[in-house]
């Protein structure tokens, strides 16, 4: 029996301690979160909003850069297509020139100098020269377009004499 009384006394003491602790916490718990917790929550909300704005700005910047790069790629593809057209023109002109020269050689080997073959060969040669020049211009345009971003980047990175 004495064990039961001892256990009852211990349980009563523990209940009293719990009641005392609840009384101490009662008004504070009913008041809601403390000011420090609210301040930290507001700081986290502000940091979160700032991070969201940074992400939004980076996404906008990235989208703009992607659009710019796509435009550059499209322009480069257009230049390469123009270069390909000009190179095909050079190949056709050279084929015509080869045919005209072969016909001229055949006529000369027979001892017959035909003026229309000479004219045809000269026209084919002129066309080959024009096509070659156009291909050179198209190739130079592609090279310049490729180098221009590098030159622009170097110009913005290099301080001018006035800055020094």
Q: Is residue 106 part of a domain?
A: yes
- Return the pLDDT at 132: 84
Q: Is residue 126 part of a domain?
A: yes
Q: Is residue 101 part of a domain?
A: yes
- Predicted TM-score (pTM) of the model is 0.48
Q: Is residue 133 part of a domain?
A: yes
Here the tokens at position 116 are 């229309």
Tally of CB atoms within 10 A around 20: 10
Calpha distance 32→148 (Å, rounded): 64
Q: Is residue 25 part of a domain?
A: no
Number of structural domains (the chain) is 1
Q: Is residue 92 part of a domain?
A: yes
Regions of the chain short of the pLDDT cut 50: 164
Here the tokens at position 148 are 């221009």
Q: Is residue 154 part of a domain?
A: no
- Return the pLDDT at 66: 93
- Return the pLDDT at 62: 92
Q: Is residue 37 part of a domain?
A: no
- Return the pLDDT at 159: 64
* Cα–Cα nearest to 131, from 85, 80, 100: 85
User: Domain limits at 110?
Assistant: 74-146
- Return the pLDDT at 63: 93
């Amino acid at each position: 029996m004495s064990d039961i009384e001892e256990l009852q006394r211990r349980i009563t003491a523990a209940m009293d301690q719990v009641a005392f602790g609840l009384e101490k916490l009662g008004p504070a718990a009913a008041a809601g979160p403390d000011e420090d917790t609210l301040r930290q929550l507001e700081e986290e909300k502000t940091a979160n909003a700032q991070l969201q704005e940074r992400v939004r700005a980076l996404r906008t910047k990235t989208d703009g850069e992607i659009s710019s790069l796509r435009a550059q790629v499209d322009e480069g593809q257009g230049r390469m297509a123009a270069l390909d057209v000009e190179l095909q023109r050079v190949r056709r002109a050279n084929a015509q020139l080869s045919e005209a020269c072969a016909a001229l050689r055949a006529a000369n080997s027979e001892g017959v100098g035909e003026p229309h073959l000479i004219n045809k060969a000269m026209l084919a040669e002129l066309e080959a020269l024009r096509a070659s020049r156009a291909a050179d211009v198209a190739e130079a345009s592609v090279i310049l377009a490729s180098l221009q971003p590098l030159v622009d980047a170097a110009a913005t990175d290099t301080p001018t004499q006035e800055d020094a």
